[in-house]
Chain A
Amino acid sequence: MNFWEKAQKVDRRVLYAILIFFVCGGLFFPATIPVDPDPSSKSFYSEIKKLNPEKVVLIQSDWTNSTRGESMGHFENLMRLLMSQNIKFVFYSAADPVAPQVARTVITRINKEREGQGLRVYKAGVDYLDLGYFPNAEATNTNMGNNLREAWKGRKARVDGREVDIFATPVLGNVKKIEDAGMMIVVTASASIDVAIQRLAKRVPIMGLVTGVVGPGVLPFYQSGQLKGVAIGLKGVYDVEYMMANGINVKPGGEGKAKVEWDGNNGAEVPPVTEGKTLARGQQYYGTLHVALVLLILAVVMGNVSMFMARRRQGEEA
C-alpha cells in the first residue's frame, strides 16, 4: 500500500485533529487583514451611515448561539454602528424564543464596553426597546405592515422602574406606522428574512445580516433592490468591521489610495466610525476562516489526487 492509498484510508479522527489544531491556533493570532468588502456589504455600511438619527431602526433578531460565530459578530457590529450614531432601535424575534435573550446578552456586553471607554450607555426604554418574542413570523410581519400599533399593542417597557406602554416611550413615541421607521434590519440564520422581505419590503427599507449558508438565497433580493444591503457570513462581519475602521473611499491623510474603494453611491466618501471599538470579533475569526478554507481546499485536492493515483496504480497492475 503506497502513500496515496494510505491517504485514502486515513482515519477521520486524524482529519478532525488537524482541523482542531489549525482552527484553534488561528484564534490566538488576530490580524488586520486587508480586504475588499463585497458590494452588498458596502451597500449595507453606506446605508447605515446614511440613517436619520431621528428615526427608529427595527431589528428582527432571529439568531441564536448555534450560529454565533457569524451572527454574534453581525449583531455586535450593528449595535456599535447604531450606538455610535445615537440611533434608537427596537429589537424582537419572530423565529426563535431563545433569540431575544441572546440579543440582550450582547447589548449588555456592548454597553459595558462603551462604559469602559467613557461612551454613552444605551438605556432600555429610552434608547432602545426589547419587545421579546413573537411566534409565527408570517402573521407577525403581515400585522406589522398592516398596523404596527395594533401588532405591538400591549407590549410594555420598563422606564425608571415604571411599566410604560412602548408607544409612550421616546423610542416609538413618533411611530404610528411601519413607514415611520428609518430601516428594518434582519439578523438571521434562517429564511425569516425572506418572510420579512415578502411582507414589508414595500413599506420600509430592509437590510440583512445573515450567515454564509443563508447568504446566496438572499442575494436575488439584493440584486432586485428589495434588500438595500446585506453582509454575509464571517467575511461579511469582517467587511463591516473593516469599513467601520477605514470608511469607504476615504483616503488616509487625504492622499493616496483609499483602503476601501467603491464606485457605488456615486463614489461618495462614507466616513469610518470614530468612537469605540471597530475591529473586533470579525478580526479575531477572519484569520481562522483563512486557515479553515485552506484546509478544506487541501482536503479536496488531496482526496482527488489520491483517488487518481490509486486508480493509476490499479491500471498499471492490471
Chain B
Amino acid sequence: MNLTQWLPLAQTTENFWRKMPGSTDLYIWLGVGLLLGFGILFLLSMVPSHLRRWVVVTFTFLAGLPYVLAYLWPKPIAMDVATQLPNPGEQVGFLINAAIDPVGKLTNILQGFLLGVGIFSLLRVHSMKIKRKAENYGFSMVLIVCFITMATVGFGDWTTRTFQDPQGLLNDPVNWGFFNRANDLLFEGIYQQMDAAMFSMIAFFILSAAFRAFRIRSVEATVMMASALILMLNLMGALTFVWGNAIDGLAAQTGNTFLLNFKLTEMANWLRSNMQIPAIRAIDFGVGLGALAMGLRLWLGLERGGVSA
C-alpha cells in the first residue's frame, strides 16, 4: 500500500486534505462535509448520557494523537516523493506530518466557533435580563447597544476598505466615509483608550499596596525588599550612571577592582542570573511536569472533570 497518495507534500495540486479552490470537487466536499457535520451533530444529540463521556474522551484522544505521534515518530527526511518511494516507516512519518496542518486548522476553526458560541451566550443572557427587567438591566441594554453598534460600524469599515477601495485611498483619513470615521472614533478614540486607561489603574493599586501592605516583618520579607530595591534602582538610568561613575572613580583611586562588583548594574545582573532565573527555571520545570501529567490525564480520558456528560 502506498500512503503517499494521501500526502499534500507528494502532490502539489490536489490530495485528500486539500482540494483546489473553485473546483467541483471542493464544492462536493463542502456539501458532503456540511451534511456530515449536521449528521454528526444530530447523532451526538441522540447519544445516551451514559455514553457521552466516551464520545468526549474519544474525540479528545483523536485530536491529540497526531501531535503525540508527530513528536514520538521518527521524522522523515526530506525527499522527492515523486521519484523516491519512501519505506513504510517513512510513509507513516510523512502522513503524520501532513496531518498536523489540517488538525491545527481544525482547532483554529473550532476556536472561531467558540467565539460565536460566546457571542450567542452573551446576547442570550443579557436579552433575558432585559426581558425580565432584572436588577441592573440597564447595563445589559448598554452592552447590547454597544455590541451591535461596534459590530455594524466595524463591518461597514471592513467592507468599504476591502471591496470598494482597491487603490487604498482610505488609508488617508481625508477620503474616509461615515463608517470609517465612526469606526475610528469608536475603536481608536474610545475602545483603545479605555483599554489603556483600565490597565493604567494598576499603578494606583501598586502604590497603595506598596504604602500599606509591603511590610518588613520577617527576614524573608527583608531579603525580598532588598532585592526588589536593587532591581528597581537598576531601572533608573540616571542613578545607575551616577553610581557607576562613582564606583569607577573609587576603584581607580584605591586600585581595588573588587569594588566594581558594587555597581548597581552588576548587582542587578547577578541577582537576575543567579537568583531570579534559576528560581523561575525551577518553577517552569514544576509547571511543565504538572502540565505534562495533566495533559496525559486529559488526553487518555483519566481526568473526570471537564469530560463528564
Name the distance in Å between B112's Cβ and chain A's nearest Cβ: 6
- Asked whether A278 is an interface residue with its Cβ less than 8 Å from the other chain, the reply is no
With both beta carbons as reference points, the residue of chain B lying nearest to A64 in the complex is identified as B195
- Asked whether A113 is an interface residue with its Cβ less than 8 Å from the other chain, the reply is no
Which one of B46-54, B122-130, B212-220, B300-308 contacts A?
Answer: B212-220
Q: Evaluate contact between A146 and B101: CB separation under 8 angstroms.
A: yes
How far apart sit A65 and B276, CA to CA, in the bound complex (Å)?
29
Interface string of B213-245 (1 = CB under 8 A from A): 111100000000100010011011111110010
- Asked whether B258 is an interface residue with its Cβ less than 8 Å from the other chain, the reply is no
How far apart sit A223 and B66, CA to CA, in the bound complex (Å)?
32
Contacts of A23 in B (CB 8 A): 203
- Asked whether A5 is an interface residue with its Cβ less than 8 Å from the other chain, the reply is no
A–B Cβ pairs within 8 angstroms, 22 of them? A16-B207, A33-B238, A66-B198, A66-B199, A68-B196, A69-B196, A139-B103, A139-B107, A143-B104, A143-B105, A147-B97, A151-B104, A154-B21, A158-B166, A158-B168, A216-B272, A217-B280, A290-B236, A293-B236, A294-B236, A296-B207, A307-B215
Interface string of A207-241 (1 = CB under 8 A from B): 00000000011011001000000000101001000
Interface residues of B in 89-134 (CB under 8 A from A): 97, 100-101, 103-105, 107-108, 111-112, 115
Size bracket of the B interface: 35 or more
Could you say which of A67, A143, A294 contacts B100, with CB atoms under 8 Å apart? Answer: A143
Interface residues of A in 25-51 (CB under 8 A from B): 33-36, 38-39
- The majority secondary structure among interface residues of chain B is helix
Q: Evaluate contact between B210 and A296: CB separation under 8 angstroms.
A: yes
Which one of A100-108, A243-251, A269-277 contacts B?
Answer: A100-108
Name the distance in Å between A227's Cβ and chain B's nearest Cβ: 12
Q: Evaluate contact between B203 and A292: CB separation under 8 angstroms.
A: yes
- Asked whether B32 is an interface residue with its Cβ less than 8 Å from the other chain, the reply is no
Q: Evaluate contact between A235 and B235: CB separation under 8 angstroms.
A: yes
10 closest A-B pairs by beta carbon, nearest first, are A35-B237, A139-B104, A161-B166, A135-B111, A66-B199, A299-B211, A299-B210, A143-B104, A65-B192, A34-B241
How far apart sit A8 and B46, CA to CA, in the bound complex (Å)?
65
Q: Evaluate contact between A216 and B237: CB separation under 8 angstroms.
A: no
Given contacts A146-B101, A220-B284, 6 further A-B contacts (CB under 8 A): A66-B195, A66-B196, A151-B101, A161-B168, A235-B235, A304-B214
Name the distance in Å between A280's Cβ and chain B's nearest Cβ: 16
- Asked whether B149 is an interface residue with its Cβ less than 8 Å from the other chain, the reply is no
Known: A65-B193, A102-B192. Is A35-B280 also a contact (CB below 8 A)? Answer: no
- Asked whether A140 is an interface residue with its Cβ less than 8 Å from the other chain, the reply is yes
Contacts of B180 in A (CB 8 A): none
With both beta carbons as reference points, the residue of chain A lying nearest to B231 in the complex is identified as A216
With both beta carbons as reference points, the residue of chain B lying nearest to A12 in the complex is identified as B208
Interface residues of B in 234-264 (CB under 8 A from A): 235-241, 244
How far apart sit A125 and B190, CA to CA, in the bound complex (Å)?
30
- Asked whether A303 is an interface residue with its Cβ less than 8 Å from the other chain, the reply is yes
Could you say which of A98, A142, A158, A238 contacts B67, with CB atoms under 8 Å apart? Answer: A142
Could you say which of A140, A158, A302 contacts B211, with CB atoms under 8 Å apart? Answer: A302
Name the distance in Å between B297's Cβ and chain A's nearest Cβ: 18
Size bracket of the A interface: 35 or more
Q: Evaluate contact between B280 and A219: CB separation under 8 angstroms.
A: yes
Name the distance in Å between B46's Cβ and chain A's nearest Cβ: 30
- Asked whether A286 is an interface residue with its Cβ less than 8 Å from the other chain, the reply is yes
Contacts of A307 in B (CB 8 A): 215
With both beta carbons as reference points, the residue of chain B lying nearest to A135 in the complex is identified as B111
- Asked whether A82 is an interface residue with its Cβ less than 8 Å from the other chain, the reply is no
Contacts of A124 in B (CB 8 A): 168
Q: Evaluate contact between B216 and A304: CB separation under 8 angstroms.
A: yes
- Asked whether B83 is an interface residue with its Cβ less than 8 Å from the other chain, the reply is no
Contacts of B171 in A (CB 8 A): 108
Contacts of B175 in A (CB 8 A): none
Could you say which of A65, A158, A238 contacts B237, with CB atoms under 8 Å apart? Answer: A238
Contacts of B187 in A (CB 8 A): 101
Name the distance in Å between B22's Cβ and chain A's nearest Cβ: 12
Could you say which of B100, B198, B213, B280 contacts A142, with CB atoms under 8 Å apart? Answer: B100
Interface residues of A in 76-127 (CB under 8 A from B): 98, 101-102, 105, 108, 124
Interface string of B22-38 (1 = CB under 8 A from A): 00000000000000000
Name the distance in Å between A136's Cβ and chain B's nearest Cβ: 5
- Asked whether B76 is an interface residue with its Cβ less than 8 Å from the other chain, the reply is no
Q: Evaluate contact between B207 and A19: CB separation under 8 angstroms.
A: yes
- Asked whether B160 is an interface residue with its Cβ less than 8 Å from the other chain, the reply is no
Could you say which of B67, B101, B215, B280 contacts A303, with CB atoms under 8 Å apart? Answer: B215
